[in-house]
Amino acid sequence: MTTTSAPRSVPRSVPRRGALRALAVAVALVGASTPAFRSAAFAAEPQTYTLTIKHVDRAGQPATKYRTHVAGVFKDGGEEFLEQQDASGVTTVRLPKGRYLLDSTLSSTQGANGTIGTDWIVQPRLDLDRDTTVTVDARTTVPVDVRPPDGSASFVYGSTFVEVTHKGVTRSGNVFNGSPNLRVAHLGPETETGALKQWIDVNWKTDTVNYALGRTFTGTRALTGLTRHYSAQELATLNIRSAVGPGSTGTTRFSLLPTDGTALGVSRSMPTPGTATFLVAPERGTWDIGFTAPRADGTAPNYYTADRIAVRAGATITQTFDGPVFGPALTDRPAVSRDGDRITANVPLLADGDGHAPWSPLFDTAYTSLYRDGVLVGAASGAPGRGEFTVPSGKASYRLATTVTRKAAAGATTRVNALWTFASATTTGPTALPVSVVRFSPELGPAGTAAGGSALRIPVTVQGAAADGRTRSLTVSASTDGGASWTRLPLEAGAVTVQNPSAGTGVSLRAELTDADGNTLDQTITDAYRTQ
């Protein structure tokens, strides 16, 4: 079956890549036919030509089951979806002059057992400047044979996408196959160098392991067959781990898909706590994960993403979601910035232990305030770590304080306090302000707990303005009485060691930092983790 790529624009409330892929999955898996349509350009263009397409099956006879997609690779170029009209295997359409992408899917029954085979033929360059006849012949196709090292694995599904660009305009097509009997072929002349991109993904599984295999191609021709039998040494292990977070145990859902290009990806569910193991092909590039954590009744589920995860053959990468230590984290966008005389704070205060910032963290209260030279500028509540403040022009000293609280839950942070001081002056555009955070990354059990009475090593990492050797001073302390008293911990080789209290006790962590320019941070995480 062939579908077009998803629309370029999506609702702002939905992650862009997730929406694109979700729509592609919905179209492919439901198997719905996309209605044929013509663009306004097709109707208005006076210079048109007849395109005749002949479809031939694997036996050399007129194809009785086909679906052909023709897309104009030019400004305002429309597209047509052409399905079987009669037993002749021939269809015609009148189109404006221009460059087109044609891809055709033919289905056939083969063998004594009636196995369904799919042939996908792609003509990436069809220059329509006269009446033209194209023959789509299934006999030209070559099998796609992409397999994992485990012969007992069962095929799940595969997908192949092609994208063609000409004079700044891009069009695409794809095929989804629910059986391993896919054959593909290039048709017609080559495109210009680098104008064609193609992505192929093949998914297999066993009772314990999932295989996400595939490759990325760039060139002038569409694929004509592909044979790739992976060895175990050529694959990377990617573990997706669901920890017990501040909601409840239950079932979590996640997706895994390649970063590059368009793909259907893999969507799964698993119990919490739990781990799903994937063996993935490094030659497919980096990988993206979307993760929806379970929540207690009456609360909204929380969504995390981890993008562009690099993998390497033979290596194991583990991404743990929704587990402690929850606390401040800095992402690839400025956490605190100034544009002219407006200061905006958007600090993820409840990122999980691996640093994944949640889309809708579970919390009870949140409060953020900003002071200029000791005078309150303004305050905001209702969203953790967020606030927008208009300040007087000129340079001044600022103090930004933020707090978030939530009820005690298994392995969950109950309170985060962060206080930053920095100097700032009027800017001519959006400018990141010099704030830092400290991350604590102990090895905890699946329930987010540590053994009572044992010593626990906690790696300490600085993010932001004080990172990369720009820390003037850093002290770390621990508390076992909810912050009523603190014990300073020696920082050695980037870590501190806590002598855990008896089972059932919360351990709180505090960091006090000054960067090379004198900006400061005072950060406290109450009940960072619990003992058992």
Q: Where are the domains of the chain?
A: 2-230, 234-321, 336-531
Is the Cα dihedral 349, 355, 361, 362 positive or negative?
negative
Residue 20 has pLDDT above 50, yes or no: no
Mean pLDDT (the chain, rounded): 89
Q: What is the pLDDT of residues 55-101, one digit of tens each?
A: 999 999 999 899 999 999 999 899 999 988 789 999 999 999 999 99
What DSSP letter does each residue of 291-328 carry, written as one string? EEE---TTS--EEEEEEEE---TT-EEEEEES-SPPB-
Cα–Cα distance list, 382 to 274, 330, 366, 493 (Å): 32, 20, 5, 39
Q: What is the CA radius of gyration of the chain?
A: 28
DSSP state letter for 480: S
Helix (H) or strand (E) holding 449: strand 449-450
Same fold, 2-230 and 234-321: yes
Which residue has 């909601």 as its token pair?
247
- Widest distance between CA atoms in the chain: 86
CA–CA dist 312, 34 (Å, integer): 39
CA–CA dist 111, 114 (Å, integer): 5
Q: What is the pLDDT of residues 398-429, one digit of tens each?
A: 999 999 999 876 557 999 999 999 999 999 99
Is residue 228 classed as helix, strand or coil in its secondary structure?
strand
First and final CA of the chain: distance in angstroms?
Answer: 53
Note the pLDDT of residue 4. Answer: 39
State percent of the chain over pLDDT 90.
Answer: 77
Decide: 173 and 68 in contact? Cβ < 8 Å. Answer: no
Q: What is the pLDDT of residues 280-334, one digit of tens each?
A: 999 999 999 999 988 766 667 789 999 999 999 999 999 999 999 999 999 888 9
Decide: 441 and 471 in contact? Cβ < 8 Å. Answer: no
Of the candidates 223, 261, 260, 264, which has an alpha carbon nearest to the alpha carbon of residue 120?
223
Q: What is the pLDDT of residues 132-146, one digit of tens each?
A: 999 999 999 999 999
Residue 1 has pLDDT above 60, yes or no: no
Of 2.130.10, 2.60.40, 3.40.630, 1.10.287, the CATH number of 234-321 is 2.60.40
Which amino acid is residue 476, in one-letter code? Answer: V
Note the pLDDT of residue 109. Answer: 65
Q: Of 110-119, 367-376, 423-432, 477-486, give the lowest mean pLDDT range.
A: 110-119
Which residue has 């196995």 as its token pair?
115
Note the pLDDT of residue 86. Answer: 83
CATH architecture classification, 2-230: Sandwich (2.60)
Note the pLDDT of residue 412. Answer: 77
Percent helix, strand and coil across the chain, each to the nearest 5:
5, 55, 40
CA–CA dist 74, 98 (Å, integer): 7
Q: How confident is the model at residue 32 (pLDDT cuts 50, 70, 90)?
A: very low
pTM metric for this prediction: 0.83
Pairing label, strands 375-381, 336-339: unpaired
CA–CA dist 239, 210 (Å, integer): 10
Note the pLDDT of residue 407. Answer: 83
Cα–Cα distance list, 57 to 2, 112, 519 (Å): 17, 17, 72
Across the range 389-404, mean pLDDT stands at 98
Cis upstream peptide for 273 (omega within 30°) = yes
